[in-house]
C-alpha cells in the first residue's frame, strides 16, 4: 500500500486507472513558506535562485515528509508527495488562483510551448528512506480565442492548476500535444514512480488492486 500526499483528483485518478488504489492523506505544509526559505538559503550561500524543477522537488519532499511523519508503516509502506509548475520563458507559473491571473497566463501561453515540471518524492514510513525525481514534459498550447479563454476560466478549473490548465479535463481541448510523459502533465509520472518505488525495494505490479 502507498499513501498519496495530495488532494489532486487527477493524480488519484491516474493511479486508480493504473490499478493502484492508494491511501490518500493531504499534506498541510505552507508552500509559500517553503519556497521562501529555499530562496533565502540559496541567497545566503551566494547561489542562484532555485529554478522551477528545484522548487517542485523541494515542495514534493516537504509534502511527503509531513505526511510520512503521521503515517504508520501498517497503514502505508511509502508516502508519495508531488508538486507541479509550468516553466515558460524561464519563469515559473504555479496556480493562478484568480481569474485575472489565469487570463494573463493564457494570453502569454497560447500558441507557444512550455515545460511542465512535476516533482516526486517518496518517503518510506518504516525508516524514512527517500527517493526523489522530477518529470519534465514539453506542452504545446493551442490558440484558443478570447471568448474560449474566458469561458474556460469561468468554469473555475484552471484557477487551482499549475500553469492554469489541465490536460485531462476541460483544458485538454486547448493542448495541441506534449513531448514527454503525458502522465507527468497530470502531475504524477507513472514510469518515474515505478522506478522510484523500485529504488525503495517495492515492485510496481505488487501494488495492483486485486479482488
Task: Let me know how long the chain is.
Answer: 211
Per-position DSSP letters for 36-87, written without gaps between them: HHHHHHHHHTTPPPP-HHHHHHHHHHHHHHHHHTT--TTT-SEEEEEEEEEE
Strand 113-124 relative to strand 23-24: parallel, antiparallel, unpaired? unpaired
State yes or no: is 150 an active-site residue: no
Check 21, 30, 83, 181 and give the catalytic one. Answer: 83
Q: Alpha carbon of 117 to those of 96, 135, 187: distances in Å?
A: 16, 6, 8
Nearest by Cα to 51 from 80, 82, 86, 27: 86
Q: What are phi and psi of 30, to 5 degrees?
A: -90, 100
Strand 113-124 relative to strand 78-88: parallel, antiparallel, unpaired? antiparallel
What is the CB neighbour count within 10 angstroms for residue 40? 10
Question: What is the DSSP-derived secondary structure letter of residue 125?
Answer: T
Query: Cα separation of 185 and 176, whole Å?
Result: 13
Kindly list the catalytic residues. Answer: 83
Amino acid at each position: 500500500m502507498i499513501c498519496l500526499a495530495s488532494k489532486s483528483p487527477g493524480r488519484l485518478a491516474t493511479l486508480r486507472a493504473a490499478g493502484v488504489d492508494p491511501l490518500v492523506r493531504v499534506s498541510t505544509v505552507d508552500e509559500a513558506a517553503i519556497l521562501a526559505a529555499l530562496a533565502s538559503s540559496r541567497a545566503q550561500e551566494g547561489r542562484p535562485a532555485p529554478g522551477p524543477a528545484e522548487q517542485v522537488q523541494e515542495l514534493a519532499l516537504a509534502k511527503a515528509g509531513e505526511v510520512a511523519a503521521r503515517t504508520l508503516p501498517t497503514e502505508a509502506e511509502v508516502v508519495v508527495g508531488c508538486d507541479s509548475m509550468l516553466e515558460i520563458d524561464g519563469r515559473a507559473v504555479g496556480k493562478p488562483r484568480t481569474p485575472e491571473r489565469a487570463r494573463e497566463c493564457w494570453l502569454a501561453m497560447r500558441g507557444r510551448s512550455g515545460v511542465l515540471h512535476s516533482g516526486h518524492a517518496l518517503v518510506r514510513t518504516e525508516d524514512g528512506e527517500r527517493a526523489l525525481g522530477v518529470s519534465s514534459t514539453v506542452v504545446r498550447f493551442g490558440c484558443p480565442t478570447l471568448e474560449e479563454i474566458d469561458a474556460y476560466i469561468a468554469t473555475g478549473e484552471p484557477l487551482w492548476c499549475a500553469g492554469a490548465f489541465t490536460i485531462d479535463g476541460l483544458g485538454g481541448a486547448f493542448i495541441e500535444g506534449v513531448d514527454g510523459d503525458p502522465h507527468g502533465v497530470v502531475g504524477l509520472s507513472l514510469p518515474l514512480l515505478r522506478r522510484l518505488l523500485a529504488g525503495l525495494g517495492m515492485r510496481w505490479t505488487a501494488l495492483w488492486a486485486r479482488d
